Structure 1
Amino acid sequence: MLPSRRAEMHPARVVIGRGVWFGANVTVLPGVTIGDGAVVGAGSVLTKDVPADAVVLGVPAKQVGTVPEV
């Protein structure tokens, strides 16, 4: 018998785009998609999809900028 909290879990795929950078100790919740070239700050918790080239950080993570084009 599984504990009730575990029985309620719904696994979902996490999609990580090309060239994504993660800081240390990032947590990505099930079902989140991280767009190409995104940067995720250390210790962030991703609860929603992250757009391409976004800079996100915090708990929960919020977009604070974009990656400049080179």
Structure 2
Amino acid sequence: MKIMIEFYRTRVKDDAHATVGRAMSDAIDRKDAIEVARSLSVTLSMPQRPDGMMITDMTGQMLYTGIVDAVGR
């Protein structure tokens, strides 16, 4: 399936999100989509390191939203 991944930074005082990167990719299922996003969070060129991500399918259905793991950083 095609997925859209949005990476963002979160402002602590009011939980506002600022998008720092977006990417489209292919994934087999939800679990694979999360792995693809975590990999891209390290390799994708972005102006800041993201602390969160949201993954949607091409219809806009949310598959995952949450904190980007710090593994590999």
- TM-score, reference length from structure 1: 0.24
Bigger relative contact order, structure 1 or 2, given CA contacts below 8 A and separation 6+?
A: 2
- TM-score, reference length from structure 2: 0.23
Higher Rg of the two aligned structures = 1
